């Protein structure tokens, strides 16, 4: 029976073809240098279990402190030994691409899981279930994968010298970055390079994926996000390159945009979202392209063509019209003074030989009644979801906060008569549920899951600029009539 370092080196030699059996002593000594030489000899066949045991040994050997930050940094360093160099990974990806785009992403996705860059065990903790609504089956997730912030790291970071390297967590300079207090370890991080619109872009996976093969496409240059004709061209070029993936962009304005507007990037992956299954309820044409209003809580126009260039022209025409369009009867205003309010969340994907571009119209106005946003989750649903509605949620997959797991259990206990307290902000909702249902231990969780999904549907309706009502759809058609 070998000690933990020797076992770990066996995995390195199996998974990282840059090393040969002749490198075994060298690699063993590299592991000893990181974790110490006093190691147990337990038989630990699983790589992730083995890495965890090595972290425990490093703490025992006083190589690191027993803090989340120190463990994360060392874990990434260990997994870096398992991972080929960036140039090797890029070469292998494009060699696989010559077989097929699917073979290329399968290779890179498997590598990113094997080396623990994609946190598969953490992601498995997420709560995921479907809920049937008027808009089809929405996907509800309670996000439990991202680790809690390390209080010691937060305190220590106040005394740490400030640095702007890397500028943000989407910069390419993160590839191989050791990490620091308050900033994630990226020693085992790899990025695939490709050319897009004459520029260098990168392709990586999300460490805490929200859906299958959750990918991020990022510009080599650290520059703000913007939605324009170039964006539409880029998205369609990516789905030409990777036809089994969708790709979309968060909007480029606060409130309706994503959480990282400072770095130009897109998100994609191998997942069919509820919005992509939603039907067309009103057909028309734009710039000679087949178009339609989608039956969806957010105002969505779907463009379809076998020619990407036609889609780009039609999408650009829609965006230009929308950016200056106002309809006071439904609170739609393009500007307040010089402040622009209108933008688009675009999503591209393939349907057989057809290219599809879904354009979701967004408006980031605020008002006295709705200071968080007129087209943002309203106060009565913020007990479930108060954060921005970004790309993933636009398409029908809720990313709900981790607090809801324990809070919904407390609500369930309360509804069946247990002597528990529930958060004050849930009490009006719970009182309404009590008026509508008779709860038992057998049905309470099923009802709560369904009602959680219906609240998310309301959240999406709040974010929609043209509602799925008679007046809302009439207003939507008035906008469509402006497109010519």
Q: Is the pLDDT of residue 157 over 70?
A: no
DSSP bridge partners of 129: 140
What's the confidence (pLDDT) of residue 405? 96
pLDDT band at 149 (very low <50, low <70, confident <90, very high): low
What's the confidence (pLDDT) of residue 257? 79
Phi/psi of residue 288, each to 5°? 75, 10
Q: Computed from CA positions of residues 442, 443, 448, 453, in that sequence, does the dihedral angle turn out positive or negative?
A: positive
Nearest to 2 by CA among 58, 44, 52, 32: 44
What's the confidence (pLDDT) of residue 156? 61
Q: What is the pLDDT of residues 5-17, one digit of tens each?
A: 999 999 999 999 9
What's the confidence (pLDDT) of residue 162? 75
Model confidence, pTM:
0.95
Tell me if the domain spanning 152-269 has CATH number 3.40.50: no
Q: Which two tokens stand for residue 426?
A: 């849930």
Q: Is the pLDDT of residue 133 over 70?
A: yes
Query: Could you give the CA distance from residue 146 to residue 249 in angstroms, rounded to a whole number?
Result: 22
Q: Is the pLDDT of residue 403 over 70?
A: yes
Domain boundaries, the chain: 129-146+271-484, 152-269
CA torsion angle for 250, 119, 116, 95 (degrees, to 10)?
-40
**Mean local confidence (pLDDT), 134-139:** 97
What's the confidence (pLDDT) of residue 2? 84
What's the confidence (pLDDT) of residue 1? 66
Q: DSSP assignment, residue 349?
A: E
* Percent of the chain scoring above 70 in pLDDT: 97
* Percent of the chain scoring above 90 in pLDDT: 93
What's the confidence (pLDDT) of residue 42? 85
Nearest to 138 by CA among 255, 258, 278: 278
pLDDT band at 394 (very low <50, low <70, confident <90, very high): very high
Helix (H) or strand (E) holding 194: strand 192-196
Q: Is the pLDDT of residue 154 over 60?
A: no
**Mean local confidence (pLDDT), 462-484:** 96
CB 482 within 8 A of CB 347: no
**Mean local confidence (pLDDT), 216-233:** 97
**Mean local confidence (pLDDT), 278-286:** 97
User: What is the residue-averaged pLDDT of the chain?
Assistant: 95
Q: Is the pLDDT of residue 431 over 60?
A: yes
Q: What is the pLDDT of residues 260-269, one digit of tens each?
A: 899 999 999 9
CB 301 within 8 A of CB 344: no
Q: Name residue, tokens 């191989």.
A: 176
Query: Could you give the CA distance from residue 185 to residue 69 in angstroms, rounded to a whole number?
Result: 8
Q: What is the pLDDT of residues 304-346, one digit of tens each?
A: 999 999 999 999 999 999 999 999 999 999 999 999 999 999 9
Q: Is the pLDDT of residue 146 over 90?
A: no
Q: How many residues does the chain have?
A: 484
């Amino acid at each position: 029976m070998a000690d933990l370092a020797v076992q770990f080196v066996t995995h390195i030699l199996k998974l990282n073809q840059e090393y040969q059996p002749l490198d075994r002593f060298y690699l063993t000594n590299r592991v000893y240098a990181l974790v110490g030489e006093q190691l147990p000899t337990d038989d630990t066949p699983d790589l992730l279990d083995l890495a965890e045991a090595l972290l425990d040994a490093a703490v025992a050997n006083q190589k690191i402190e027993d803090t989340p930050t120190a463990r994360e940094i060392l874990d990434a360093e260990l997994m870096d030994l398992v991972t080929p160099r960036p140039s090797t990974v890029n070469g292998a990806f494009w060699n696989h691409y010559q077989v097929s785009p699917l073979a290329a992403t399968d290779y890179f996705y498997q590598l990113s899981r094997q080396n623990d860059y994609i946190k598969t065990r953490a992601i498995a903790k997420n709560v995921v279930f479907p809920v049937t609504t008027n808009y089809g089956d929405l996907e509800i997730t309670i996000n439990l994968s991202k680790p809690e912030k390390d209080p010691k790291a937060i305190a220590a970071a106040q005394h740490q010298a400030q640095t702007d390297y890397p500028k943000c967590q989407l910069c390419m300079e993160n590839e191989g970055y050791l990490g620091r207090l308050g900033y994630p370890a990226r020693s085992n991080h790899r990025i695939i390079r490709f050319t897009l619109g004459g520029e260098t872009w990168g392709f990586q996976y999300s460490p805490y994926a929200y859906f299958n093969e959750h990918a991020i496409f990022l510009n080599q240059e650290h520059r703000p996000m913007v939605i324009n004709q170039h964006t539409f061209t880029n998205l369609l070029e990516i789905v030409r390159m990777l036809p089994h993936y969708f790709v979309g962009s968060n909007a480029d304005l606060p409130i309706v945009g994503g959480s990282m507007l400072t770095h130009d990037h897109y998100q994609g992956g191998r997942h069919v979202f509820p919005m992509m299954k939603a039907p067309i309820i009103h057909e028309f044409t734009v710039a000679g392209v087949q178009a339609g209003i989608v039956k969806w809580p957010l105002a969505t126009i779907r463009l379809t063509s076998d020619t990407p260039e036609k889609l780009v022209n039609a999408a650009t025409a829609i965006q230009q019209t929308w950016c200056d369009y106002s309809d006071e009867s439904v609170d739609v205003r393009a500007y307040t003074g010089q402040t622009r309010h209108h933008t688009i969340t675009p999503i591209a994907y393939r349907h057989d030989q057809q290219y599809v571009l879904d354009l979701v119209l967004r408006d980031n106005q605020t008002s006295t009644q709705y200071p968080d946003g007129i087209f943002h989750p309203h106060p009565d649903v913020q007990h479930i979801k108060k954060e921005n509605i970004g790309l993933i949620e636009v398409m029908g997959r809720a990313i709900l906060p981790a607090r809801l797991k324990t809070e919904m259990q407390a609500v369930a206990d309360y509804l069946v008569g247990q002597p528990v307290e529930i958060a004050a902000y849930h009490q009006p909702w719970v009182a309404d549920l009590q008026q509508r249902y008779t709860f038992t231990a057998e049905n309470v969780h099923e009802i709560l899951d369904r009602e959680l999904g219906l609240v998310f549907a309301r959240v999406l309706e709040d974010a929609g600029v043209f509602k799925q009502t008679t007046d809302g759809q009439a207003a939507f058609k008035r906008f469509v009539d402006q497109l010519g």
